[in-house]
């Protein structure tokens, strides 16, 4: 929306987005490591360090480096830091499990998918996939790391959380450079806290994951075409019942002001 970006917290303590980004950097460094497995192409994110005896020690040292500015905060150190450390340990176990399946792993892979709209204009959908795996049969799996709670199955089904399904559509269209076109067999959220286990997206009824991907792709195209109408407004909270406590553009829509006044006309 006009190039606006969400502001940073003034208290210096990282919010969910900052914590996610830094945790993502830690996971990416651990996955990439400092060397590539013999016989593998450099730059594909394949390493042998997760099997090293000092893997956990190196991971936690990296975490302390990334979160050093915030460890001085007593609240962060007492409550959030222990949960984050436990989650990173679980991520190391997740990494070892998945390496028994994946042939190639890509981390923090940027992609762009440009497609036409009904009025002759075009739209570019961009994404940074936390993790793309390709197995020996050429099938792909997508993962998104979460420091907070992942969306519910219902939110995914109805299209309120289409991140992984749209990344799957991008991958099938060859939008991630150097990865190629691969049909995505499944996708999951992985908690960088608590148990660190995968929470796989389960399509409702008898729908396959690919059918869900195609459905979300069609919904996106329909929505974008609607916004090509100059008469279409841009509400800050189009679905109030499912809105987060704070929206990125609430200050522009004067949400708190209207909420305090009860929504009555001035």
Element spanning 143, H or E: strand 140-146
The answer to whether 179 touches 129, Cβ cutoff 8 Å, is no
Rounded to a whole number, what is the distance in angstroms from the first to the last CA of the chain? 27
Residue 98's closest CA among 129, 130, 63, 135?
Answer: 135
Backbone angles phi, psi at 111, to 5 degrees: -140, 155
Q: What are phi and psi of 105, to 5 degrees?
A: -130, 130
Predicted pLDDT of residue 83: 83
pLDDT of 84: 82
DSSP character for 261?
Answer: T
Helix, strand, or coil (residue 115): strand
d(CA 216, CA 225): 14
The tens-digit pLDDT sequence of the chain (266 residues) is 345 555 555 455 555 556 656 666 666 665 655 333 333 433 333 343 455 667 788 878 888 888 888 888 999 899 888 888 888 888 888 888 888 888 888 988 999 999 999 999 999 999 999 999 999 999 999 999 887 788 998 899 988 899 999 999 999 999 999 999 999 999 999 987 666 678 999 998 889 999 999 999 999 999 999 999 888 887 777 776 665 566 677 777 787 777 766 555 54
pTM: 0.76
pLDDT on residue 1: 39
DSSP classification of residue 206: T
pLDDT score for 143: 96
Q: Which domains does the chain have, with CATH numbers?
A: 16-226 (3.90.320)
- The angle that helices 163-172 and 209-226 make with each other, rounded to 10 degrees, is 100
C-beta neighbour count of 196 within 10 angstroms = 20
pLDDT of the residue at 47: 40
- Supply the pLDDT for residue 253: 77
Query: How wide is the angle at C-alpha 49 spanned by C-alphas 42 and 136, nearest 5°?
Result: 55
């Amino acid at each position: 929306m006009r190039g606006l970006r969400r502001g940073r917290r003034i208290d210096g303590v990282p919010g969910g987005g900052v914590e996610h980004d830094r945790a993502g950097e830690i996971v990416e460094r651990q996955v990439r490591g400092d060397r590539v497995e013999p016989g593998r192409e450099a730059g594909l994110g394949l390493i042998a360090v997760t099997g090293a005896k000092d893997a956990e020690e190196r991971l936690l040292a990296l975490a302390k480096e990334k979160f050093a500015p915030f460890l001085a905060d007593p609240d962060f150190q007492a409550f959030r830091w222990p949960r984050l450390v436990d989650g990173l340990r679980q991520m190391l176990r997740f990494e070892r499990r998945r390496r028994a399946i994946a042939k190639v792993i890509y981390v923090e892979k940027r992609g762009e998918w440009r497609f036409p709209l009904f009025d002759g204009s075009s739209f570019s959908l961009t994404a940074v996939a936390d993790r793309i795996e390709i197995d020996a049969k050429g099938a792909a799996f997508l993962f998104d790391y979460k420091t907070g709670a992942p969306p519910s199955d219902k939110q995914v089904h109805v299209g309120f959380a289409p991140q992984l399904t749209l990344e799957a559509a991008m991958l099938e269209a060859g939008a991630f450079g150097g990865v190629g076109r691969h049909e995505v067999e499944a996708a999951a959220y992985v908690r960088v806290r608590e148990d660190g286990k995968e929470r796989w997206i389960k399509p409702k009824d008898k729908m396959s994951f690919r059918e869900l991907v195609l459905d979300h792709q069609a919904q996106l195209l329909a929505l974008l075409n609607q916004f090509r109408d100059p008469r279409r407004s841009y509400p800050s909270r189009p679905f109030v019942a499912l809105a987060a406590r704070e929206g990125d553009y609430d200050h522009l829509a004067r949400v708190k002001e209207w909420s305090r006044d009860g929504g009555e006309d001035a």
